[in-house]
């Protein structure tokens, strides 16, 4: 089976060596030696101001919403993974959906201001497939209306915009280190922020509300990353440049061989150094998409309808329709993309996609 992605496994001996350190230290969690080492290495590699690695990629969003949204309305995108919207609802806030740009697939910044009300407290936008939002316009809107900006940057490991990490935009950015991501800790994620005060606020919220054993600052939850997760991150990080290079090879093949008279591809925002996180294509109709999925399945190839459906249609919400997001969600398909994909497999995938329009 050729799946849409495949987890990168570092050499097992390297992971065992890191695990041996854990056994030697007799320390499994709570800001251990490996966690601290991974934090510093990620901060250096990504060139970010402040980072708090956590146990998954959803809790950082919830923690930021808990700090900033305060039960109000949160302007967000309908074209994202369900965790983005679910986090808003989980934190007893109200998602207010703004439609997306038809080429970049990120939130349409020109429609945000019209959605702001006296109940709006924050903007939660997603950098879709690692493609940045219009961060300058969103920042200007937020400053004008005294709103906080949270970015779901789950797909953005290694992405830079105008020469700096995309994680350095917004009041808070978050990332996923899930096993399906190009950098991973098995399960995991991180929260990024811009100053020491925000770091302190986010740190205690992810650590039951305290910093030292008896220093409580407020309400918190357990989002701590374990030493076992940090061990995996320390083993994967040295390979990240090679991982991105191999993913670029796959994307270049798709770019060179797909018939773009029948499908369209993601437009990467100018001044972006992209990380090749996903390879989405958009079909002219849902019928052609379904036919392509069926033809791929016959060859044991499993792409993914990512993201589908558009989130304003979730059964626990009552929201106005976002026609562009709905249109894209019904027609977008992410093709297999990982480091060990062979050219013969890529050729087969391309031939199947291109033939979806024949006859």
Mean of per-residue pLDDT scores for the chain? 97
Contacts for 331 with CB less than 8 Å, ≥ 6 apart = 282, 283, 284, 285, 286, 289
Mean pLDDT value of segment 345-349: 98
Structure tokens, 331: 């027609």
pLDDT at 215: 83
Question: pLDDT, tens digit, for every residue of 62-115?
Answer: 999 999 999 999 999 999 999 999 999 999 999 999 999 999 999 999 999 999
- CA dist 102 and 355 (Å) reads 25
Q: What is the chain's Cα-based Rg?
A: 21
Residues in the chain: 359
pLDDT at 203: 96
pLDDT at 358: 67
The three-state secondary structure class of 219 is: coil
Structure tokens, 90: 């989980």
Q: Which of 91, 63, 68 is nearest to 203 (CA)?
A: 63
Number of other CB atoms surrounding residue 44 within 10 Å = 9
Domain ranges within the chain, ordered by starting residue: 2-238, 240-355
| Dihedral Cα 285, 288, 290, 296, nearest 10 deg | -140
Question: pLDDT, tens digit, for every residue of 183-212?
Answer: 999 999 999 999 999 999 999 999 999 887
Look at the block and give the residue holding tokens 């499993």: 302
63-to-59, 151, 190, 267, 310 alpha-carbon distances in Å: 6, 13, 11, 31, 24
Segments in 191-285 forming alpha helices (H): 196-205, 227-236, 240-257
CATH architecture of 2-238: 3-Layer(aba) Sandwich (3.40)
pLDDT at 191: 98
- CA dist 160 and 153 (Å) reads 12
pLDDT at 109: 98
Q: Is the pLDDT of residue 320 over 90?
A: no
**How far is it between the farthest Cα atoms of the chain?**
71
- CA dist 227 and 21 (Å) reads 10
Question: pLDDT, tens digit, for every residue of 252-277?
Answer: 999 999 999 989 999 999 999 999 99
pLDDT at 213: 72
Q: Is the pLDDT of residue 155 over 70?
A: yes
- CA dist 50 and 52 (Å) reads 7
Q: Which of 23, 51, 16, 57 is nearest to 37 (CA)?
A: 51
Residue 161 confidence class, pLDDT cut points 50, 70, 90 = very high
Mean pLDDT value of segment 280-284: 97
String of DSSP letters for 11-50 = -HHHHHHHHHHHHHHT--SSS-HHHHHHHHHHHHHHT-SE
So what CATH class is 240-355? alpha beta
- Yes or no: say if 78 and 100 are a contact pair by the CB < 8 Å rule: yes
Number of other CB atoms surrounding residue 231 within 10 Å = 26
pLDDT at 182: 95
String of DSSP letters for 99-159 = -B-TTT-SB-GGGTGGG--TTEEEEEEE-GGGPPP-HHHHHHHHHHHT-EEEEE-TT-TT-
Residue 16 confidence class, pLDDT cut points 50, 70, 90 = very high
pLDDT at 255: 98
Residue 42 confidence class, pLDDT cut points 50, 70, 90 = very high
Please state whether the peptide bond connecting residue 309 to the residue before it is cis, i.e. omega within 30 degrees of 0.
Answer: yes
């Amino acid at each position: 089976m050729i799946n849409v992605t495949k987890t990168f496994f570092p050499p097992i001996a390297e992971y065992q060596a890191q695990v041996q350190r854990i056994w030697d230290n007799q320390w499994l969690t709570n800001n251990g030696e490996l966690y601290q080492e991974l934090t510093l290495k990620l901060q250096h590699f990504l060139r970010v101001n402040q980072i708090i690695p956590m146990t998954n990629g959803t809790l950082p969003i919830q923690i930021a919403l808990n700090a900033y949204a305060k039960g109000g309305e949160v302007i967000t995108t309908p074209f994202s993974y369900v965790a983005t919207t679910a986090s808003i609802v989980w934190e007893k806030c109200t998602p207010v959906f703004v439609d997306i740009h038809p080429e970049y697939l990120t939130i349409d910044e020109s429609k945000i201001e019209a959605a702001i009300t006296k109940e709006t407290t924050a903007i939660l936008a997603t950098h879709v497939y690692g493609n940045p939002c219009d961060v300058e316009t969103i920042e200007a809107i937020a400053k004008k209306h005294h709103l906080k900006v949270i970015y779901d940057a789950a797909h953005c490991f290694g992405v830079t915009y105008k020469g700096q990490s995309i994680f350095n935009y917004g009041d808070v950015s978050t990332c996923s280190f899930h096993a399906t991501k190009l950098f991973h800790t098995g399960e995991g994620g991180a929260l990024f922020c811009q100053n020491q005060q925000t770091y302190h606020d986010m740190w205690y919220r992810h650590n039951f509300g305290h910093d030292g054993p008896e220093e409580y600052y407020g309400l918190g939850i357990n989002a701590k990353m374990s030493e076992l997760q940090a061990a995996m991150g320390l083993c994967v990080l040295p390979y990240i440049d090679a991982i991105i290079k191999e993913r670029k090879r796959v994307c270049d093949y798709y770019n060179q061989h797909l018939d773009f008279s029948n499908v369209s591809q993601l437009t990467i925002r100018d001044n972006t150094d992209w990380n090749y996180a996903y390879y989405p294509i958009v079909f002219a109709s849902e019928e052609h998409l379904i036919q392509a999925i069926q033809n791929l399945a016959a060859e044991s190839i499993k792409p993914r309808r990512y993201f589908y459906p558009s989130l304003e249609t979730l059964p626990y919400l009552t929201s106005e329709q976002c026609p562009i997001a709905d249109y894209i969600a019904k027609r977008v398909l992410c093709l297999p993309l990982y480091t060990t994909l062979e050219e013969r497999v890529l050729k087969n995938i391309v031939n199947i996609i291109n033939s979806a329009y024949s006859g």
